[in-house]
Amino acid sequence: MENKCLFCEVYKNKIGIIFENDQFYARLDRFPVSPKHALVIPKRHVVSFLELTKDEQHDLLPAIKETIRILENIDSKEFYEKIIRNPVNKKMETFCKKILSNPGLNKKPDGYNIGVNEGISAGQTIHHVHIQVIPRYIGDVADFVGGVRHVIPGMGNYR
Ligand SMILES: [Zn+2]
């Protein structure tokens, strides 16, 4: 474990963990993009997705699948309400409030974007690998074509 790593601390203190297997744990994101936005995180401190061991690679897909199965069956409203009562900062409060008024709240997601921000240029800000599982709901954005391609604004929809 590395000092002051958020995701090492979260696992050590078992904060809000919704799933774990041998190599990974999962939690809901505190700055949710969409209702039930979750993170799948290796228990070992490792910066890069490309440095996951064979054992971690083996456990990763089942961890993602199981996390999705769990988040499809949890009531997340209380989770976001709890954060709003004691947010770490204003942005966290704003994000969670937005989610509480999102029509997708506690609906079964219609789909998912599953992805990794690998490296600073790709948007990685916490230097401990985390796989984003972002539930998607029909109608949550005006233009859904291209999905993760929208990380470069204006280049998502190739039609
Ligand atoms: Zn760590």
Residue 2 has pLDDT above 60, yes or no: no
Report how far residue 30's alpha carbon sits from residue 38's, in angstroms, rounded to the nearest whole number.
9
Give the Å distances, CA to CA, from 137 to 14, 17, 81, 96. Answer: 29, 24, 21, 17
Please say whether the beta carbons of 40 and 76 come within 8 A: no
| Cα–ligand 1 centroid distance for 37 (angstroms) | 20
Helices and strands (H and E) in the chain: how many: 4, 5
pLDDT in tens, 31-43: 999 999 999 999 9
pLDDT at 13 over 90: yes
pLDDT of residue 106: 81
The predicted pLDDT at position 3 comes to 65
CA distance 129 to 56: 11
Least confident of 2-11, 40-49, 81-90: 2-11
CATH number of 6-151: 3.30.428.10
Centre of ligand 1 to C-alpha 153, Å, is 30
Q: Where are the domains of the chain?
A: 6-151
SS3 140: coil
What integer best gives the mean pLDDT of the chain? Answer: 95
Percent pLDDT > 70 in the chain is 98
CA of 45 relative to ligand 1 center, distance in Å: 4
For ligand 1, the distance from its centroid to the CA atom of residue 6, given in whole angstroms, is: 6
Cβ distance 34 to 134 under 8 Å?
yes
Q: What is the pLDDT of residues 102-144, one digit of tens each?
A: 999 989 999 999 999 999 999 999 999 999 999 999 999 999 9
* Residue 109 DSSP class: P
Please tell me the pTM assigned to this model. Answer: 0.95
Q: How far apart are CA 42 and CA 112, in angstroms?
A: 20
Q: Is 14 helix (H, G, I), strand (E, B) or coil?
A: coil
Residue 48 has pLDDT above 80, yes or no: yes
